[in-house]
């Protein structure tokens, strides 16, 4: 009987993330978390003689949220360029999960043609001792896994 080893659980603290924007690679050292999801689009398929409605997959959509510490103007600047010129921007996100104590290796995922839904243009909270963060919701159009866990 096989068992998972506790040291093979991956900690997110050793992850790395990069954004490629207009050919420039930006290390996201100020990122706190990211979660990206692929969701299938399904259509109802009623079938004669069945009481349930079957489903057929007809497409998919990708969306996610990148949470960063409020220490960069990069995404605000890109959004301002969009609202002033109408020229939208797309970028790729590369995320590597690798825990040096784990024997399962690393996983590197690339989210392609990411597009931000919204940014916080200005923020402060004088009543908090916590660092200011911002959530950047986005969509993406394609994804690849460059490195897979063993």
Could you give the number of structural domains in the chain? 1
Evaluate if residue 67 carries a pLDDT over 90. Answer: yes
Task: Tell me the C-alpha distance between 115 and 51, whole Å.
Answer: 41
In a domain, 52, yes or no: no
- If pLDDT is split at 50, 70 and 90, which confidence band does 55 have? very high
Q: Find out whether 101 and 80 touch, Cβ atoms under 8 Å.
A: no
The phi, psi pair for 74, rounded to 5°, reads -55, -55
Give strand pairing partners of 134. Answer: 68
Q: Structural domain of residue 66, as residue ranges?
A: 6-44+58-147
Residue 120 burial by Cβ neighbours in a 10 Å radius (0-12, 13-18, 19+): middle
| pTM of the entire predicted model | 0.91
In a domain, 51, yes or no: no
Q: Find out whether 31 and 65 touch, Cβ atoms under 8 Å.
A: no
- Residues 86-92, mean pLDDT to the nearest whole number: 97
């Amino acid at each position: 009987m096989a068992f998972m080893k506790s040291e093979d659980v991956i900690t997110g603290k050793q992850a790395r993330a990069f954004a490629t924007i207009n050919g420039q690679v930006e290390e996201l050292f100020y990122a706190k978390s990211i979660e990206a999801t692929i969701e299938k689009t399904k259509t109802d398929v009623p079938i004669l003689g069945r009481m349930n409605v079957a489903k057929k997959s007809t497409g998919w959509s990708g969306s996610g949220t990148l949470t960063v510490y409020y220490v960069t103007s990069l995404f605000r600047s890109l959004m301002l360029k969009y609202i002033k010129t109408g020229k939208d921007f797309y970028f790729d996100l590369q995320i590597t999960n690798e825990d040096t104590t784990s024997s399962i290796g690393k996983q590197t995922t690339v989210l392609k043609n990411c597009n931000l839904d919204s940014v916080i243009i200005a923020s402060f909270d004088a009543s908090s001792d916590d660092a200011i963060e911002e959530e950047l919701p986005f969509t993406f159009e394609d994804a690849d896994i460059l490195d897979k866990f063993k």
